[in-house]
Amino acid sequence: MYLVQFLILSSVLFCIGVYGVLARRNAVLVLMSIELILNAVNINLIAFGAFNGAAIPAEVFALFIIAVAAAEVGVGLALVLTIYRNSKNIDLHQVDLLKG
Amino acid sequence: MSTTYLATEASNLAVEASGFFLENVWIIPAIMAASFVVILGFGKRMPRGGSEVGIAAVAVCFVLALLTAGQWIGQVNEAAACTPETCDYIVDEHHDAEADADEHHDEEGAFQVDTGVGSSDGESASALTAFTEAEEGSTAAAAKAVVSERTWWSNGGINFTVGTMVDGLTVTLLVVVTLVSLLVHIYSTDYVAGDRRFTHYFGFLSLFTAAMLFFVTSANVLQMIVGWELVGVCSFALIGHWWEEQPNSDAALKAFLTNRVGDIGLLIGMIVLFFASDEKWGIIEINAGAIEGTTSHTLLLIASLCLLAAVMSKSGQFFLHTWLPDAMAGPTPVSALIHAATMVVAGVYLIARLYGVFFHGLSIGGSSINALAVIGAVTTLVGASLAFVQDDIKKVLAYSTISQLGYMTLALGVGAWTAAVFHLTTHALFKACLFLGAGSVSHAVHSFDMKKDMGGMRKFMPTTYKTFLIGSIALAGLPPLAGFWSKDEILAGTGGWGFFEGESHANGAYTIMLVMGMITAAMTAAYMTRVMYLTFFGEFRGGHHDDAHHGDPHESGPRILWPLRILAGLAVVAGLMNLPKGFLGLPSGWTLRFEHYVEPLAATGYFPKISHADPSWSLAIFSTLVVASAVGVAYYYYFVRVNAQSPSATELVNGPTERSRLLKAGHTMLKNRYYLDHIYDGGEPVGAAGANAMGTIFGAAAGLTLGFSLDNGLNQPFWPSVMWGVILGLTIFTIVTAALRTGMGIASVVKQPMANAANWVHENVIDAAVDEVGKNSVKTADALYKYIDQGVIDGSVNAAGRGSQGAGGELRRWSTGKVQQYATVMFAGATLLAGLLIIVI
Amino acid sequence: MEAFLDDWGLTLVTFVPLVGALVMMATPKEEESAHKMIALGTSLIAAVFGVLLLFNFDYGDAGALQFVVDKEWINVINSRYIVALDGISLPLLILTLGVVPLCIIYSFGHFPEPHNPKAFLSLILVLETGMIGSFIAQDLILFFVFFEVVLLPMFFLIGVWGGDDRRYASLKFFLYTLFGSALMLVSFLALFFLADGTNSTMAGDVVSATERTFDMRLLSTGATAGIARSAQLWVFGGMFIGFGVKVPMFPFHTWLPDAHTQAPTVGSVILAAVLLKLGTYGFVRIAIPFLPEAAAAWAPVIGLLAVIGIIYGALGCLAQTDMKRLIAFSSVAHMGFVMLGISTLTDFGINAAIFGMVAHGLITGMLFFVAGSMKDRYHTLDMGRLGGLLLQAPKLGWILAFAAMASLGLPGLAGFWGEFPAILASYNPAAILNESVWRAFMVVAALGTVLAAGYLLWMVQKTAFGNPTEEFANDPHIRDVSKFEWISWSPFLVLIVVFGFYPNAIFNLTDDAVIGSLEVESVVVLNIDGDPIEVVNANGDVITVANSSGCLEQEDGIDCFNNNRIKAERAAAERLASLETASGN
Amino acid sequence: MLAALLQQADFVRPDIDWHALAPELTLLAVGALVTLIDVVFLEKGRKISPTIAGLGLLTVLIPIITLAVDGVASNPRQAFAGSDVYVVDGYSLILKALFVLIGYMVVLMSTDYIGEGDYWESEYYGMLISSLLGMVVMASARDLITVFVALELLSIPAYLMATWRKRDIRSNEAGLKYYLNGVFASALMLYGMSLLFGVTGSTVLSEINAGLGDGTASKPIVSLGVVLVIVGFAFKVSAVPFHLWAPDTYEGSPTPVAAFLAVAAKSAGFVALMNLIFVGFWSQNEIYGPALWILAALSMTIGNLTALRQENLVRLMAYSGVAQAGFMLAALSVAGESLDVAQTSVSAVVTYLIIYAAMNLGAFSVILSVSRRTRTAHIRSFNGLFQWSPALAIIMTVFLASLAGIPPMGGWFAKFGVFSALIEADVWWAYVLATLAAVNTVIAFGYYGKLASRMWFEDAPTEFETTPIRLPFALQSALVITATATIAFGVYPGMITHFSDIDVPGVAAAVGG
């Protein structure tokens, strides 16, 4: 096993996540894409920790990220719900009242 | 303030002069200034509108001036009677009395400049030698000018003083100015009676007199500048006295602006002198520096040429004279006082005052031509010829004044200093008499037009006629009236007669000036005959206005006539002040009195060593014959032929100019005053100023450039030379344009009659060349303002503003409201930033 | 009393108007007469303190700073509250203190729309504080603060009470000045970091002479000696733009005609009389004494722009049809003379410049007053429609003619003494400058005097001479000078004459101070080991040589230079040497 | 189980300096109290919750003061003995105080807005206090994990506050935009953090600095990591090109929240950036220097230019905030040139933050006050304000002048500090940035001045009543406090420099004293 394999995996995940965030029009899919990026981060952290002999901070960091991500997604879904309630729509391209 | 102005020559022998009036001459201008303030403040509430204050003040000043003159004469006599044993005298080495001088200066404001008094006991032997070697004919010691000074302002650690300087020249002008001013004041109470601005008028008369007196008593050139400008303003105000009519205010503006053009020369000339003479303003110091040769000759030359420009404008010398005839728009007494007797001679006075500078700067001695003499000679001819064709009696007198001022300049240019000052004096008297006489006539007929509204006036106004006749004879220069003596001295002073008669002891051999002066004398006599005929002889041609309340013209009142009588009387006798040496075998105590008391001796250190021409009987007789024959021809033409041919008593026959084509062309040109005004006028006075300015710029700039470059050995660094290049380039452009057009036109000049030629020259050469550079400064200014200021400079500022606004509008569109585009921008930004840094580092 | 004045005089003069403004803010808007009285009262109180200062000023020592107050202000940047008065500041201070009450009096009779005396007068008072502060500040940051304080009130004066195009004009005025002052601030900061206050010859006399300092007293007496030439040039350049915009010099002048034309009369007067002087004052007080070497390098540029300004301003005038705009352009020309004087870098020229500032303040201020009063009467300043003022309102007309005469530099009136000595000085600029260049400038400047006469007399002719146009021939509104106008104008008129006749009233004050500000102080030259070897004066002459024990014998005894004072570096010596070479050529 | 885990990790609980943590703990307690009040008193608690929140925030100042008296400024404390993870020093203390005071001002601004708008109150204040807690923690955070947690703690409540007017679709949109951009930025930042952790093997900033400095780390990865982390906070401070969310969010959210985001969140971003730069990346000047330089130049210029054309005042303030952030970034961009410059730029940024807080909160208060009457933030609603509400016009003028940097209002000193840092750096790019900054002050006045001229020079609009506006006490207090502070800071800047002239955090340790 080599570190670089993990890094390649994580960067692929990162790229997919970024693509999702930038390209998907559905708000929920965007939220999921963000999760992908965060998971890429987690993989990075764990891999680096394992290979650097600094496993504990890496794992702690990853745990925090997982926890916080959960909270974030909670808030995110709440926001999406509110939007949906007001405009019956979660297409992000339609959300452009504020501009200029 | 060091005072090492006294020359080091062995013949330096000067006596300290003193006396209450000589030292406190400042009182005279101060009285007039106070009079101005009083008239301005309270004049309207006074019974005679403030005129009484003015008259009283100027009368007091006249008395004071006489007392001053008396005291000066006493001083000169004392000095003349002086021997090394009996009185204080100075043999001046480069004495080290500077500390002494400073002490004097600190102790009290007024101090005597002759700091060397008594400091040379050990050198009486050389003094004695000097005494005996003093100039032939004058064993007298020189009476030195009385200078009183106070600190005026200080700058750069230098104290600048204000003060008075009194010597013969000063007292002459003091007497002349106060006398003419007094008479004009009295005359005016009648002449302008009932005018709506009666009080203003007298206020400005007072202010003018004050300024003129301040000018002539100046101890330094800076004060002269002040006085010079102040008289200009008063002239402006008085020419434009009836400013409701546009032509009057135009004339006033023209006068002022033309003078301003000359003032560039004045300012620069004075500045050059200031630095050339080691940062000194004092007239005495500047002259002394020039005479001793401590001042660079190049700088003296530049300074005198610059000052000459000022003289040309103020004293109406060709080609800046055009304002003077227009200035006749002012009330006639003003013309008499300002534009004939006093202000216009300021330029002449300036040269006389700074004679050391001009004499050495223009190398007058031992030469036969110089700028001053040429300008004077040309002016005198041009003025006389133009006087011929005027119908307006005041304009005749105005051109005559120009001509006579040219005479004075000519005299100074040939080194006949005393003759010039003497002529200045006599001219002031008879020309004032003539102007006031013309005023008296016009007061009666309400017009200045001789052809339309005058004629036969001798019947109605006998006193005016008589005085005018005396003035005319004096002006024409027939013996024994005043004009003869002064004119003759000038002609003798040219030294040109030496051509026929051998050695004349003049400063040079100015034969051309003599010839031109002689021609002028003839023309003067002729045009004055014409005026006499048109005004006083024949039948009265006026009255066609049929104003009921005017009726026949009648003689003026006593307040007008008495000044005329006095001036006429003086015009008769004034010439006797300076009878030629050896005239009719008179003792030396009777001859050359004017020279004796007025001309400073070289021993004073501030006056150049000039030679005095010998008087010549043959010349005097010849010139008298010339004048007499001119009178005769003119008399025959007007009194005999015209009188006989006139169809009726009140209608004049056409003159010869109407019949001969050639003469007519000449007449047209003269009528158009050599087209000079057209060149200057862009239709309005500002245009005139602009064109004048442009013309003068290039001349002055080129001259100065050349001067400075020479002075600096043409060793210029890069960018100043670029500037010079531009200036010179423009000058050359002007000249080349003119030359090209002239060349192309030569053929047609040959073919065409004179008038067309003149017109052509006007339109295609002078006008085109001058105007192509700055046809009309208003237009230039308009274009500059519109395109450069509002277009380029302001435009670029506004464009920057608009650009920002535009950029803001563009940037605003980045904010699309689409959240994913924001994220895209964010990610792109991050990627670019990271990529950049990864590549670079 | 004297002790009180020493400690508090300048501070009171500066802040009394501000206090007045605060009191006015607390007073209800309806109490118009109360507002007028408060405004006039406070400005008069300030003026009275000014007069007291004038009387207590030691004229024998006009070159030295007097009434010095030096207190802590912003410690972290060594910026201190230092105010003081010397011969350069005094005339400008008095000018300000005089002009403001007169403007207030004038405004009583002529409240521009939309009225509101409360706001109008309190803004003027705030403005006064800023102007006075700028003239007496002796700390760069304090100067900067006061310099900027004047901006906002003027912005509002123009913007609220101005003419039709007031928004554009006020914003333009503001942006221009802000641009200049931002660069100026950058230059000040560069000085702060580059200069070394302990190098100054005054280091021993100033309470806290630190290495980094904003203290103008230190910066003008050798603290800047060690700055590299290239840096000096840049720093000077920043200040040049900052002050040049304010003057305004060509080509930074385009804000001026707009601001003047649109501003209410009082605003124009204050702008012309005082605000423009802040720029030239900056040159005289800050830019040139701090960085003499850079000043010498920049001087040709200043001189060239000055003469361009003279001619350009004059031609600009000739192109105008609006009287007020014409007067505004004439300011460009007149300030050109002032800058020409400054560019010579001689005491003579700078004295002339200061005189020119005061004279221009009085004369152009007066012209703006007249223009404003005419606008009140005719409701237009289009010269094509005016005429015959002398018939309808003779006194007003004569005052206009008088002011025009003064403005064109008539000897005997104040304007001449600003113009002529400036021309004179440019014949003989400082030794390190190329005199041919300045002589060319002199010729052009002299030409400018003719053009000045041209446009001013043209203006007088168009407006005052002739007969009134039909439009206004029987207009009852056209009355002669009113009471308020007389009160506020007569001091101007009197001073124009007084300074014209007795110029020493100002020259005497400024001369010592200017000479002092141009002196390059003597510098201690060190050898490579840092020991003093000799003292060199401004001309590069060695005054004192160290004895064998490394001590210099000075007038006040032997000085062995404790380490604090041995700060002068070789650079300073080299600089003097280069100055010497330059002046030797 | 837990014990076993701990034993396995060889974990010994470090000594905790409770005093050092007292501000955070107090804040936590206040937050809990506000939430509890709602739970206990239900509707009755509505009236008192703002009061409790406000007083509570002031209470937090007490431990801050005691810590200051204790001399942390010269003697930094480690909250966990022997670890640089959480440090309380002069720098963090002054910023904590600033955050708490900003919180208090926001409470003053919110009291009536939230109260009158029929929104949940206690939750609002609870959220506010949580967010503040995140900021307060951020000031002391010297560890990537702590920084991350603090960031999320301050962000998540802020997302909700932005959406507080939940029935208003614009508010929803504002919150959503803020949220999506925010989490995306966090994700990028985390990716960067993971890389940094990878090359240094530590999450503690001082150790990261040491690890980066020894030269063994792969440069490209370090660059990518540093840039991504900076981007995360550049988003928070709304630097160009990461600023696009800000105008939309400010416009849509409740005005007090917009003020909170514009001031507090931005300050928190700067605090984090400074922590990272001075502690974590100190040795990487060649990376963060140019990066911040570019961000600063872009932010100043684009922020100002875009603001020129804004018609909504809140958006205008948002762009103005972008430009102001650019100024602060400018000072930071040269901080790495030397320790002296770093000192100057820390002081400059802290000073800037304090003054910026006063003037910006003030400006938002005025906008809030006027929109109480006009119900809009359109720039036209300020027309002729001087005629119908002169006091507000004058106060707004003070803030505008301050924002434009015109003495004697505080803003000039803030800008002065930035220039001072730039010029002290004495490198050509710093001078270029200084010149650019000078030009930008001019552009900025283009819109500040235009707003001022609208208030003073225009006639009052007709679409609403133009009688003087009466303000509730809380808002009045907010106005008076901010205006007084703005003027006082400008007239006597010593008031701020007394506090802001602090040592550079952590650098002394990092470079070995």
Mean pLDDT lowest among B83-87, B724-728, C48-52, C58-62: B724-728
Q: Which residue of D has its CA nearest to A3?
A: D198
Residues near B779 by beta carbon (within 8 Å), at least 6 away in sequence: none
| Same domain flag for C355 and C428 | yes
pLDDT of residue C101: 94
CA distance D457 to chain A (A): 26
Q: Do B820 and A99 touch (CB under 8 A)?
A: no
Same domain (yes/no): C373, C460: yes
The residue ranges of DSSP E strands in C412-480, in sequence order, are: none
CA D140 to chain CA centroid, Å, is: 15
Q: Do chains A and C touch (3 or more CB pairs under 8 A)?
A: no
Contact C152 D439 (CB under 8 A): no
What is the amino acid identity at position D95?
Answer: L
Same domain, C482 and C580: no
Size of interface A-B (CB pairs under 8 A): 32
- Identify the band that residue C103 occupies on the pLDDT scale cut at 50, 70 and 90: very high
- pLDDT at position B755 is 34
Residue D100 near residue D57 (C-beta atoms within 8 A): yes
Q: CB-based contact (8 Å) between A5 and chain D?
A: no
Q: Tell me, yes or no, whether C345 and C432 share the same domain.
A: yes
CA angle D448, D452, D453 (to 5 degrees): 115
Closest CA relative to residue C274, chosen from C416, C95, C152, C122: C95
> Do A75 and D160 make contact, defined as CB atoms within 8 angstroms?
yes
Task: Provide, as residue numbers in chain D, all residues whose Cβ is less than 8 Å from the Cβ of C77.
Answer: 416, 420, 497
The domain containing residue D198 runs over which residues? 14-510
Beta carbons of B490 and B569 less than 8 angstroms apart: no
Contact between chains at B820 and A98 (C-beta distance less than 8 A): no
Q: Inter-chain contact A30–B820, Cβ cutoff 8 Å? A: yes
Q: What pLDDT, on a 0 to 100 scale, did the predictor assign at position B136? A: 40
The pLDDT > 70 percentage for chain B reads 71
pLDDT at site B321: 76
Regarding beta strands C66-74 and C79-85, do their DSSP bridges make them parallel or antiparallel, or are they unpaired? antiparallel
pLDDT digit string, tens, across residues C215-241:
888 888 878 877 888 888 999 999 999
**Same structural domain, C120 and C151:** yes
Q: Note whether A70 contacts D: Cβ–Cβ < 8 A.
A: no
Beta bridge partners of A91: A26
Domain presence at residue D4: no
Query: For residues C405 and B261, what is the distance between their CA atoms, to the nearest angstrom?
Result: 16
- Answer yes or no: do D435 and C74 touch at CB < 8 A: no
Where do runs of H (alpha helix) occur along C379-411? 389-392, 394-407
Facing D501 at nearest CB: one of C76, C167, C234: C76
Which residues from chain B sit within 8 angstroms of residue C63, using beta carbons?
none
Q: What does C192-255 look like in DSSP terms, one character per residue?
A: HHH--GGGSTTTTTSTT--SS--BHHHIIIIITTTS-HHHHHHHHHHHHHHHHHHTTPTTS-TH
- Which candidate, C515, C503, C505, C343, places its Cα nearest to that of C417? C503
Are D445 and C174 within 8 A, CB to CB? yes
CA B596 to centroid of chain Cα atoms? 25
* Closest chain A CA to residue D9: A56
Residue numbers in chain A where pLDDT is lower than 50: none
Tens of pLDDT along B675-713? 445 444 433 333 334 444 444 444 444 444 444 433 333
For residue D171, the distance in angstroms to the closest alpha carbon of chain A comes to: 9
Q: Is C508 on the interface with B (CB under 8 A)?
A: yes
In a domain, D1, yes or no: no
Round to whole Å and give the CA distance between B609 and B424: 21
Please, what is the average pLDDT of chain C?
84
Contact C450 B233 (CB under 8 A): no
Residue B736's Cβ-count burial label (10 Å; 0-12, 13-18, 19+) is exposed
Nearest to C337 by CA among B721, B222, B267, B279: B267
3-state secondary structure of C545: strand
DSSP reduced 3-state for C73:
strand
Strands B14-15, B142-143: parallel, antiparallel or unpaired by DSSP? parallel
Nearest CA in chain C to B793: C251
Could you tell me the pLDDT band of residue C540, with boundaries at 50, 70 and 90? low
C446 → closest Cβ in B155, B243, B267:
B267
Report the gap between the CA of B573 and the closest CA in chain C (Å): 38
And the tokens for C29?
């808007």
Q: Nearest to residue D238, comparing CAs of D310, D303, D187, D176?
A: D303
Percent over 70 (pLDDT), chain C: 88
Neighbors of chain B by Cβ distance (3+ pairs < 8 Å): A, C, D
Tokens of C102: 């007169």
CA distance D180 to chain A (A): 8
The Cα of D378 is separated from the nearest Cα of chain B by a number of Å equal to: 16
Rg (CA), chain D: 22
**Geometric angle at alpha carbon B405, from B402 and B411, rounded to 5°:** 145
Of D223, D224, D309, the CB nearest to B805: D309
pLDDT, residue C359, reads: 93
| Domain's final residue, options C475, C501, C518 | C518
Query: Given an 8 Å threshold on Cβ–Cβ distance, is D406 in contact with C178?
Result: yes
Alpha-carbon span C487 to C489, nearest angstrom: 6
Token pair for residue D378? 């359109």
> Which phi and psi (to 5°) does residue B594 adopt?
-65, -45
pLDDT interval class at B714 (50, 70, 90):
very low
Query: Residue B75: which of B177, B219, B171, B149 has the closest Cα?
Result: B171
Closest Cβ opposite residue D408 in set C145, C170, C183: C145
Return the partners of chain C (3 or more C-beta pairs < 8 Å).
B, D
Tokens matching residue C40: 């006039």
Q: For residues D480 and C44, give the distance between their C-alpha atoms in angstroms, rounded to a whole number.
A: 31
Tokens encoding D266: 């931005």
Nearest residue to C85 via CA among C102, C73, C97: C97
pLDDT tens, residue order, chain D (513 aa)? 566 666 666 767 788 889 999 999 999 999 999 988 888 887 777 788 889 999 999 999 999 999 999 888 888 888 888 788 899 988 899 999 999 999 999 999 998 888 887 777 888 999 999 999 999 999 999 999 999 999 999 999 999 999 988 888 999 999 999 999 999 999 999 999 999 999 998 899 988 988 888 878 888 899 999 999 999 999 999 998 899 999 999 999 999 999 999 999 999 999 999 999 998 888 888 899 999 999 999 999 999 999 988 889 999 999 999 999 999 999 999 998 888 899 889 999 999 999 999 999 999 999 999 988 888 888 888 988 888 888 899 999 999 999 999 888 999 999 999 999 999 988 999 999 999 999 999 889 889 988 998 898 888 888 777 788 888 999 999 999 999 999 999 998 888 888 888 888 766 444 433
Q: What tokens does B748 get?
A: 């047609």
Q: Indicate if the pLDDT at residue B2 is higher than 70.
A: no
- D3 is a domain residue: no
Q: How far is B800 from chain D (nearest CA, A)?
A: 10
- C549 and C417 within one domain: no
pLDDT tens digits for range D354-376: 999 999 999 999 999 998 888 88
pLDDT tens-place string over residues B174-221: 899 999 999 898 888 888 888 888 888 888 888 999 999 999 998 888
Structural tokens at position D2 = 């837990």
* Rounded Cα distance, A67 and B576, in Å: 127
Query: For the segment B366-377, what is each residue's pLDDT rounded down to a tens digit?
Result: 777 777 888 888
The C-alpha of C121 sits at a distance from chain D's nearest C-alpha, in angstroms, of: 15
Chain length of chain A: 100
CB contact under 8 A, D305 and B807: yes
Last residue of a domain, one of C518, C535, C568: C518
Claim to verify: residue C538 and residue C508 sit in the same structural domain: no
Cβ atoms of residues C443 and B693 within 8 Å: no
Q: Same domain, yes or no, for C198 and C260?
A: yes
Q: Which residue has the tokens 């000066």?
A: B72
Strand partners, C558: C553
CB D382 within 8 A of CB D457: no
Contact B827 A98 (CB under 8 A): no
Q: What is the 3-state secondary structure (H, E, C) of C490-516?
A: HHHHHHHHHHHHCCHHHHHHHHHHHHH
Picking from D394, D457, D497, the nearest residue to C74 by CB comes out as: D497
C435: closest CA of chain B, how far (Å): 9
Instruction: For B779-795, write each residue's pLDDT tens digit.
Output: 666 776 777 777 777 77
Confidence (pLDDT) at C581: 64
Domain interval for residue C290: 2-518
* Coil/strand/helix, residue B521: helix
Considering C483, C499, C518, which residue would you say is the last residue of a domain? C518
Residue C577 shares a structural domain with residue C457: no
Among C residues 485-504, those touching chain B with beta carbons less than 8 Å apart: 502-504
Ordered DSSP codes for B330-372: S-HHHHHIIIIISGGGHHHHHHHHTHHHHHHHTT-TT-S--HH
Dihedrals phi, psi of C412, to nearest 5 degrees: 95, -10
Nearest to B711 by CA among C446, C439, C422: C439
User: What confidence tens digit (pLDDT) does each residue in B247-289 have?
Assistant: 788 888 878 877 887 888 888 888 888 888 878 888 888 888 8
The reported pTM is 0.84
For chain B, what's the residue count? 841
Domain count of the fold of chain D: 1
C391 touches chain B (CB under 8 A): yes
- Asked if A23 lies within 8 A of B820 by C-beta distance, the reply is yes
Nearest-angstrom CA–CA distance, B76 and B140 = 9
Instruction: Tell whether the model's pLDDT for residue C525 goes beyond 80.
Output: no
- Point out the residue among D181, D231, D443 whose CB comes nearest to the CB of B830: D231
* B309-340 pLDDT per residue, tens: 888 888 888 777 777 888 888 888 888 888 88
Helices C166-194, C229-246: inter-axial angle, 10-degree rounding: 160
| C536 and C510, same domain (yes or no) | no
- Distance of residue B810 Cα from the nearest chain A Cα, in angstroms: 10
Q: Is A27 on the interface with D (CB under 8 A)?
A: yes
Residue in D closest to A76 by C-alpha: D179
Tell me what pLDDT residue C542 has: 59
Smallest CA–CA separation between A1 and chain D, in Å?
A: 17
Distance, in Å, from the CA atom of B358 to the CA atom of B269, rounded to the nearest integer, reads 11
Beta bridge pairs of residue B68: none
Q: What is the pLDDT of residue B498?
A: 63
Please list every residue in chain A whose beta carbon sits closer than 8 Å to the beta carbon of residue D9: 56
Q: Does C562 lie in the same domain as C483?
A: no
Using CB atoms within 10 Å of the CB of residue D375, give its burial: 0 to 12 exposed, 13 to 18 middle, 19+ buried.
exposed
Do the beta carbons of residue C337 and residue C350 sit within 8 Å?
no
CB of B252 closer than 8 Å to CB of B243:
yes
Within 8 A of B823 by CB-CB distance, chain A residues are: 21-22
Q: Walk me through the domains of chain A, giving residue ranges and CATH numbers.
A: 3-93 (1.10.287.3510)
Which region among B700-704, C207-211, C290-294, C357-361 has the lowest average model confidence (pLDDT)? B700-704
Predicted pLDDT at C560: 46
Question: Is it the case that residue B87 has pLDDT exceeding 70?
Answer: no
Strands C523-526 and C532-536 come out as antiparallel
Chains touching A, CB cut-off 8 Å, 3+ pairs: B, D
Contact yes or no for B816 and A21 at CB 8 A: no
pLDDT category at B385 given cuts 50, 70, 90 is confident
The answer to whether B286 and B273 are in contact (CB under 8 A) is: yes
Q: Which residue of D has its CA nearest to C166?
A: D457
Instruction: Look at residue C32 in the predicted model and tell me its pLDDT.
Output: 87
C54 touches chain D (CB under 8 A): no
Total of domains in chain C? 2
Chain C residues touching residue D401 (CB < 8 angstroms):
152
Q: What is the pLDDT of residues C123-160, one digit of tens each?
A: 999 999 999 999 999 999 999 999 999 988 999 999 88
Amino acid at A54: A
Rg over alpha carbons for chain C, rounded to the nearest Å, is 24
Query: What gap in Å lies between CA B625 and CA D129, rounded to an integer?
Result: 121
For the stretch D283-301, pLDDT in tens is 888 899 999 999 999 999 9
What confidence score (pLDDT) does residue C573 get?
54
**pLDDT (0 to 100) of residue D245:** 92
Rounded Cα gap, residues B718 and B721, in angstroms: 5
The shortest C-alpha distance from C386 to chain D (Å) reads 30
Burial status of residue D219 (CB atoms within 10 A of its CB: 0-12, 13-18, 19 or more): middle
Angle between helices D266-275 and D339-374 (to 10 degrees): 170
The answer on C546 and C497 residing in a single domain is: no
Does D129 reside within a domain?
Answer: yes
Residue A83, chain B, CB below 8 Å: the answer is no
Provide the pLDDT for residue B775: 44
- As given in the structure block, the two tokens for residue B339 are 């534009």
CA D243 to CA B826: how far, in whole Å?
A: 8
**Least confident span in B584-598, B716-730, D159-173:** B716-730
CB atoms within 10 A of CB B554: 11
B805, B821, B838 ranked by CB distance to D224: nearest:
B838
Instruction: Provide the β-strand partners of residue C72.
Output: C80
CB distance B4 to B94 below 8 Å: yes
Task: Tell me which chain B residues have a C-beta less than 8 angstroms from the C-beta of D310.
Answer: 812
